[in-house]
Amino acid sequence: MLDVVFMSYDEPAAEANFERLGRLHPRPKRLHGVTGASRATRLSAELVDTDPYFLVDGDSEVLDAFTFDDVPFGFKLGQVWVWNTVNPVNGLIYGNGGIKLCSRRAMRTIQDDQRDPFSNFGTDLKFVGQVASINRFNTSPFLAWRGAFREASALMARDSVGMSDQRREQWLEIWCSKGADQPFGSWAMQGARDAVQYYREIGSVAAADMVNTPDAMYDYFVRLYDVSRADAAGNKPFDAAG
């Protein structure tokens, strides 16, 4: 059985998701509290004994049918395979937040300041059509906003991996417009819209710096929205604080 690294930071459901993972894999490893998604992803390669290994995000609810038993046929060292995940807010099904099968060699090439830790793998990044998890990012106003802001920033970039410009624009529109009836769905929609505005006004370099720095994202959220009012508002965002 291949090693699994569960990579968590501040997700409220991380403990429950890790416990669930432990029922599907006898010895999952955990990397917790590392600042910066790219840095954390790179460091995950230092925890494992198998090559390749699986990487699971802290807000991922792994489906019962998924197994971590063997290297899938066709996988080559140096590659990264990404399984589909369900977005519970807008219904999109693709690789954002999905389970990954990672080569240690590939992970060790990631730079800490990359906007997307998987953006430089080119043809070595493969997308698997099978759905393996649910991406439970919408667990609070801030986390729903942050998850959507990060993904919308990635979709705004011309180097968005594994998709055409047409699909990138279609998915960005869905992030910005669908899911208001889901838990904290309006906050996710607002996060995507804020990311589009930020990317257009400030630029891709600044956006990359912010999405890789949790404290910077929280500070920006606080500048836009009063946190106590955000918690009280629940599912519905309010106008930016002035």
What does the pLDDT look like over 128-157, one tens digit per residue? 989 999 999 999 999 999 999 999 988 988
Instruction: Report the C-alpha dihedral over residues 69, 70, 73, 77, rounded to 10 degrees.
Output: 130
CATH 3.90.550.10 residue window(s) in the chain: 4-135
User: Which among 139, 229, 239 has a CA at the least distance from the CA of 184?
Assistant: 139
Of 98-102, 161-165, 216-220, give the range with the top mean pLDDT. 98-102
At a CB cut-off of 8 Å and minimum separation 6, what does 152 contact? 172, 175, 176, 191, 192, 193, 195, 196, 199
Beta-bridge partner residues of 87:
none
Does domain 4-135 fall under CATH 3.40.50.10680? My reply is: no
Is pLDDT larger for residue 153 or for residue 83? 83
pLDDT in tens, 147-200: 999 999 889 886 656 678 899 999 999 999 999 999 999 999 999 999 999 988
Looking at residue 200, its pLDDT comes to: 87
What is the value of pTM for the model shown?
0.89
Cα gap 38→212, rounded to integer Å: 7
Looking at residue 157, its pLDDT comes to: 80
